[in-house]
Amino acid sequence: MPMPSVASLLPKSHQNRWDFRRYFPWGWMLVLAALFHLLSAAPLLVNAPPLELWLSLVLYPLAEWLFLFCLRHIGKQRRLELELLGCWLSGIGLVISGSILPGYAWRQAAAIVCGMFLYAATLWVVADVNRAMKLRPIVAGAAIALLALNLALAGFTNGQRNWISIGGFSFQPSELVKLAFIFVGGATLDRLQRTQSILRYLIFALCCVGVLFTIRDFGTALIFFATFLLIVFLRSGDLRTIALVVAAAAMGAALVLIFRSSVADRFRVYRHVWENMNAAGYQQTRVLIYSSSGGLLGLGLGNGKLRNVFAASTDLVFGMLCEEWGLLLAFLVPLCYLAIAIFTLRAARRARSSFHSIIAVSAAGLLLFQASLNIFGITDLLPLTGVTLPFVSRGGTSLLAAWGLLAFMRSAFAGAGTLRDKKPKTH
């Protein structure tokens, strides 16, 4: 006679509740995350910090709790792994930004809160496939307008024209266009049989990547190109898809040839950083030296030398993690990206529609690819592209894009929010 299961020994009213996910200690996880952020920020809080820094670091756990509470009880989301990981990574970025300059902290905190609102709005938009189809041309037009504004207003900053400054605030349009790129691609290729729609998306992708090459934002252009191939691959299986992949590859090769001199300058030092350690390889060699000096447990917040190197809290932030927080903690960060991607891939297999599968997997692929470019680029395992580390690097538009991508990934989960998906109308 087989042994009865534990669930069968429970009363019938409780058998359906015998699920690990229902008993996952969300409350304790939130408490541990808040304690981690407060203990990490302790060196900044003990020496009478400015009010804006103190409020940003202390109130962030409350904002995190409120956000997850609303998702749990108002949005009716049963699983919050993605959001919890996003909050934890964002909290690390907040502490690092505040340790560089107190004024950065409140801006980073404000960007995180705005990112949470963008997450909720994006999740509402993509919940209804019909609504997404209607918004597709509007989103595509807004993306082209943002890139045109970038061309018209942006000046050169560190050899690139990817920042626009208005009224004392600066933002990077290409980060927001990432969301539009995936949204339009998912909504277009959800109906692959329409050749006209495919051609329009190909033109849209060509415009986006072309503008990025024009403003010399090669790292983001590479991310867009890889995302385009991934979106097309997700709808593979016929000659049209193969033709799209070939066209995309030809497009990328042509653009590289056109701008070959600029690309050659960016990639010339690859695998030769020690030969140029006081010139073009300065940043990468300092990352390698200072990261290893941190050991397993780190030197402590504010005690590192990499923070004095240009772009320490943006492009080189992973090196700061290794030096000041230790290799043990730093290696948890790429594991978080990997966990987010795994959660999304598992959910995408049971997504409510092909549209949700496409945008979720594409967003996860973009997030993982960008994180890999950042981490492997500064350590000279890949050519340096100058892209940010999602959620962790200082920067408002980068944070907004990361939270928007997280909403795309959440949309693949069954029952994401209180809004029910409506199937697209057939014509």
- Residue 51 binned pLDDT confidence (cut-offs 50, 70, 90): confident
> What amino acid is encoded at 56 in this protein?
S
User: pLDDT tens-digit profile of 225-262?
Assistant: 888 888 877 765 555 665 666 666 666 656 555 555 55
In the chain, domain spans: 27-410
CB neighbourhood size of 124 (10 A): 15
Q: Where are the alpha helices (DSSP H) in 101-194?
A: 102-127, 129-153, 173-189
Distance CA 60, CA 38 (A): 9
Place of tokens 């024209």: 161
What does the mean pLDDT of the chain come to? 82
Q: 213 versus 173: which is more confidently predicted?
A: 173
Distance CA 42, CA 324 (A): 14
User: pLDDT tens-digit profile of 387-414?
Assistant: 999 999 999 999 999 999 999 999 998 6
Q: What average pLDDT does the segment 121-126 reach?
A: 94
Per-residue confidence (pLDDT) for residue 54, from 0 to 100: 87
Please say if the pLDDT value at position 95 is more than 80. Answer: yes
Residue 100 CA, distance from chain mean position: 22
Consecutive H or E run containing 202:
helix 195-214
Distance CA 119, CA 102 (A): 26
Q: 184 versus 217: which is more confidently predicted?
A: 184
Three-class SS state of 398:
helix
Per-residue confidence (pLDDT) for residue 196, from 0 to 100: 64
Quick check: 384 and 377 in contact, CB under 8 A?
yes
Per-residue confidence (pLDDT) for residue 390, from 0 to 100: 96
Please say if the pLDDT value at position 10 is more than 70. Answer: no
- Percent of the chain at pLDDT exceeding 70: 80
Residues 6+ away with beta carbon under 8 Å from 194: none
Residues 6+ away with beta carbon under 8 Å from 252: 209, 225
Per-residue confidence (pLDDT) for residue 244, from 0 to 100: 63
